[in-house]
Structure 1
Amino acid sequence: MSGVISKAIHLLDLLLPQGKEKELSVTEMSRELDMPVQSVHRILGSLMEHGFVAQNAKTKKYKLGLSIMKYGFLMWDSLMLRTVARPFMEELSQKTKETVYLATRENGEGVYIDSVDSPQILKISEPIGLKLPLFIGASNRVILAYLPRKTQEAILAEVDWDTVPSLKPLSRDYIEEEILTIHKQGYAVTEGEATEGTTGIGAPIFSYENRVIGSLNVAGPSLRFTADTMEKNSVLVKKYADLISDELGYRHKFNR
């Protein structure tokens, strides 16, 4: 299997544009890679099935497909998000005195891609790379809330609600109500779902394409999140998430 993957990568490398879009025939690729024509055909068929390679209907030659562009843009968005968000995260942590997380979506899960620790001794410290379903935790649920409705339904339809990895019982109806609440107030609040005794406040971050690209989250021990603190931190999280969205080119004239 590893040999097939290696050959597929070589084929993709061969099709990389050199200043302009590059198209090659099966024979040309076979000759360039010293690979049997039948093998090239078989691998191209699999790559086409998943959108990594496309065939020109007129010339019958092959070029890179849209899936390559999709993953490339996702990587670029993630890198841009971290670079742009970092100074805002540091400032937000200073003002709230709590840990600040930056999260993004990976299929049906949310994943932490950066964080700034609270300066306080008692603090929340989750590892970068932590993944949880999009309906668990404020940082994830706020991303779910702003996804297209069809995407939300597809994600929630696959959930076995009897086995969700949440410390609190969750249901489809509850999450649907939460989505409506998030849209009304512009942020999400959760307590003790992913980690016992913790509260999180998450606000959405939007890209220049006006789609939700991630979230900004303030998290800390629930005992510090009094009514006054909740109100103050909610305003700050939303403010800084909006500032990051602005830096990414989000156009506010479009409704969320």
Structure 2
Amino acid sequence: MSGVISKAIQMLDLLVPQGIEKEMSMTEMSRELGWPVQSVHRILKSLAEHGFVTQNAKTKKYKLGLSLMKYGFLMHDSLMLRSVARPFMEQLVEKTGETVYLATRENAEGVYIDSIDSPQILKISEPIGLRLPLFIGASNRVILAYLPKKTREALLSAADWTSVPSLKSLTREYIESEMELIQAQGYAITTGEATSETTGIGAPIFSYENTVIGSLNCAGPSSRFTPENIEKYSCYTKKYADLISAELGFRNRARLNFY
């Protein structure tokens, strides 16, 4: 299998444009790589099925497909998100004194891609790369709430509600009611779901394509998240998430509140 993957990568490298779009026939690739035409055809067929290469209907030659562009954009968006969000994360830590996380979506899960720990001795500190289903925790649930309705329903339908990895009992009915609340107030609040005796506040981050691409999350010991602090921290979290969205080119200006 590793040999086939290596050959597929070599083939994709061969099709990388050099200033202009590059197309090659099966015979040209066979000659360039020194492989039998049958081997080239077999690998091209698999790559084409997944959109990594596409064939020109007129010339019958092959070029890189849109799947590679999609993954390239996803990587660019992730790096851009971290770079843009970092100074606003620092400001949120200064305002709240709590740990701040940056999360993004990967399929049915939310993933922490950056964090800044609270300067306080008693604090929450989860590892970057932590993954949980999108319906668990404020940072994830707020992303779920702003996904297209069909996507959201598909994710909730696919979830195994008999073995939810949450410290609190969660049902689909409860999560669906939470979606309405989150959309109404613009942020999510959860307590004791991913980590015992902790509270998190998450606000959505939108891209220039007007789609939710992540969330900003403020989290700490529940004992410090008094009703007064929750009100303040929610405003701060939403404010800086909105500012990150604006920096990323989010165009729905009417939704943003710059405070």
TM range (shorter): over 0.9
Cross-structure match for 1:62: 62
Aligned counterparts of 2:157 and 2:21: Cα–Cα separation in 1? 40
Superposition RMSD on alpha carbons, in Å? Answer: 1.0
What is the letter of the counterpart of residue 115 of structure 1? Answer: S
> In structure 1, what is the equivalent of residue 113 of structure 2?
113
What is the TM-score normalised by the length of structure 2? Answer: 0.97
The equivalent residue for 2:205 is 205
The match for 2:41 is 41
Rounded Cα–Cα distance in structure 2 between residues aligned with 1:123 and 1:254:
35
> Residue type matched to 1:181 in 2?
L
Q: Distance in 2 between matches of 1:157 and 1:9?
A: 36
Gaps of 5+ in 1: none
Match of residue 243 from structure 1? 243
Match of 2:86 in 1: 86
Number of aligned residues: 256
> How far off is 1:21 after superposition?
1.2
Higher mean alpha-carbon deviation, 82-91 vs 15-24, is at 15-24
For residues 192-250 of structure 1, the C-alpha deviation after alignment (integer angstroms, 9 at most, x for no partner) is 00000000000000011111010000000001000000000000000000000010010
Whole-angstrom CA distance in 1 between matches of 2:255 and 2:217: 22
Write the distance in 1 (CA, Å) between the matches of 2:35 and 2:15: 15
Please report how far the alpha carbon of residue 255 of structure 1 lies from its aligned counterpart in structure 2 after TM superposition: 6.0
In 1: Cα distance, 2:69 partner to 2:250 partner:
21
- Hey, what does 1:218 align to over in structure 2? 218
CA distance in 2: counterparts of 1:119 and 1:153, whole angstroms: 39
Q: Which runs of 5+ in 2 are unaligned?
A: none
How far the C-alpha of 1:35 sits from its partner, in A, is 1.1
CA distance in 2, matches of 1:82, 1:253: 22
Specify the alignment match of 1:164 in structure 2: 164
Cα distance in structure 1, aligned partners of 2:255 and 2:233: 24
Task: Report the TM-score when normalising by structure 1.
Answer: 0.98
% identical equivalent positions: 77
* 1:149 shift after superposition: 1.0
Distance 1:178 1:35 in 2: 56
